[in-house]
Structure 1
């Protein structure tokens, strides 16, 4: 097997898993706090659109990323208000916000870009670790990635530390396990869940920006193409544990990369099968065929004092 092609395949797998990792990190915190943020797909799409639009308008992709992440906050507040304050069905409200985001970004895209849809959009810069990037064969292919990927890994590690070793992490876990006990201890369950949903929204927006201005450098209608749902499936696949969820995101990235890279190895597999492979793996995870899944007991359950 050609090692150069293998290195390209590995690099593509990492790149394609990055938006899933960003979105899943935030979504896991939300679910640990007891809120299933089904609108992560719509938040990713909104972030992708806002990131691309402001990157194009300002010529600065860093500002595009910033506006993309800030612009999703109203959607996150809406999801939190419906789920936590109004105690509405989290799945129904999430899907409704996804539909709203799809329609809104499609309309805005056609109004703003119009015939200029093929215009080049400035993208985020690449970065590689000083030593790892210079390794022969695999160095550039594996480690020369968009800097947002490394920022996402840093956030992942920080999230793991917070969730496992701090009082805030304990409160987040408790809000998804025994919210009444949290309330009796004097901590505000609603505020904890609001904060978790907000974090989920910002991370989903960053994931969307990674796709539009980090990877593709353009925006197309519905370009997230179900990535938000894959991020939720990765959490189920990882049994609500951050490390396992990250590995599940990488697995989905590998499955997605196969549809682009396998022909380079001389392996001719039906394209339709390769396209459906990530979603087939997600279905396996959701169906519980990879072992017993232990969700937070209070997940999707509204809390009333």
Structure 2
């Protein structure tokens, strides 16, 4: 395999990993607070649809990004109301929300983005960093992203710092996820912290959807996320709820996705299904406890009944 092919695979893998990393980072914050946000798939899909629709109607990709984030926040608010305030089953709500998002965006695309209208959305072009983007192999992958791609990376860094285990908000988030009842007795507002976690996940999911639609695909198609939201949940589990672990997992998933298209192109005879299932094999290994490290928050999916 030539150096140019390796460079292309890495660049493609990193491009796929950026929205996945952002969504997984938001998901990890929600889960650390005790809410399993399975509706990340719907958040990303709605973010992608809203961003393309707004970009087409306004003629501005920046407006599209704002619309994508708002769509994710609306979905997050709905999830927070049902799962946190009304204490509905988090798994059932997540699956139902994803089905709702798929139906809404499919119907919306056929009505509002008909006749290929979604394929002409204003998008972000690549912004290559001088000198750094010319580095062999990793240069184009890391320093040849779009403006929105760099923004997503910055948001991941900011969220990782704000919700780290060394800040007050990060400590409170972990406390609520590990022992909600005791946290409530100490005076922490458990439900408010959980709502915040879900809203952060919603905003991150909406932005990730906008990144996918306006920077990578540069269009909207029905069910374009194709399970990326579920894969973000998998990345959190495989990464053991740690930022570094999630980063490694998402990059691995991105490279695996790139190989699905690259290997057949160079004549390597590897079953396509094998490449598709690799990320989930890693997740199963992690869930089974065969990967050392931090375990899931003790109160994950457990409704809080007590002080607000």
User: So what's the TM-score if we normalise by structure 1?
Assistant: 0.94
Gap runs ≥5 in structure 1:
none
SS in 2 for 1:164: coil
Q: Distance in 2 between matches of 1:242 and 1:142?
A: 18
Pairwise CA distance, 1:57 = 1.2
1:296 maps to 297
Name the count of aligned residue pairs: 305
Q: Distance in 1 between matches of 2:57 and 2:286?
A: 41
Query: Is the contact made by 1:44 and 1:208 (CA closer than 8 Å) also made in structure 2?
Result: yes
2:220 maps to 219
1:231 maps to 232
Q: Distance in 2 between matches of 1:31 and 1:142?
A: 28
Query: Is the contact made by 1:90 and 1:300 (CA closer than 8 Å) also made in structure 2?
Result: yes
2:252 maps to 251
1:198 maps to 199
1:8 maps to 8
Segment drifting more, 94-103 vs 184-193: 184-193
Query: Is the contact made by 2:118 and 2:221 (CA closer than 8 Å) also made in structure 1?
Result: no
Query: Is the contact made by 1:46 and 1:72 (CA closer than 8 Å) also made in structure 2?
Result: yes
Query: Is the contact made by 2:61 and 2:214 (CA closer than 8 Å) also made in structure 1?
Result: yes
Q: Distance in 2 between matches of 1:142 and 1:69?
A: 24
Distance 1:82 1:113, change over 3 A: same
Q: Distance in 2 between matches of 1:300 and 1:145?
A: 36
Q: Distance in 1 between matches of 2:135 and 2:294?
A: 40
2:46 maps to 46
Query: Is the contact made by 1:239 and 1:293 (CA closer than 8 Å) also made in structure 2?
Result: yes
Segment drifting more, 112-121 vs 174-183: 112-121
Query: Is the contact made by 1:233 and 1:286 (CA closer than 8 Å) also made in structure 2?
Result: no
SS in 2 for 1:129: coil
Pairwise CA distance, 1:278 = 3.3
1:55 maps to 55
Pairwise CA distance, 1:136 = 4.8
Distance 1:170 1:104, change over 3 A: same
1:181 maps to 182
SS in 1 for 2:165: helix
Query: Is the contact made by 1:5 and 1:264 (CA closer than 8 Å) also made in structure 2?
Result: no
Q: Distance in 2 between matches of 1:85 and 1:289?
A: 35
Pairwise CA distance, 1:283 = 4.0
Q: For 1:205-224, what per-residue CA distance to the aligned partner results, in whole angstroms no more than 9, with x for missing partners?
A: 11111111110111111110
SS in 2 for 1:126: coil
Q: For 1:138-197, what per-residue CA distance to the aligned partner results, in whole angstroms no more than 9, with x for missing partners?
A: 533542112233222222222222222211111111110122222222221111111110
1:274 maps to 275
Query: Is the contact made by 2:25 and 2:156 (CA closer than 8 Å) also made in structure 1?
Result: yes
Query: Is 2:169 the partner of 1:168?
Result: yes
Query: Is 2:79 the partner of 1:79?
Result: yes
User: So what's the TM-score if we normalise by structure 2?
Assistant: 0.93
Q: Give the alignment's Cα RMSD to 1 decimal.
A: 1.8
Query: Is the contact made by 2:56 and 2:118 (CA closer than 8 Å) also made in structure 1?
Result: no
Q: Distance in 2 between matches of 1:289 and 1:278?
A: 15
Query: Is the contact made by 2:73 and 2:206 (CA closer than 8 Å) also made in structure 1?
Result: no
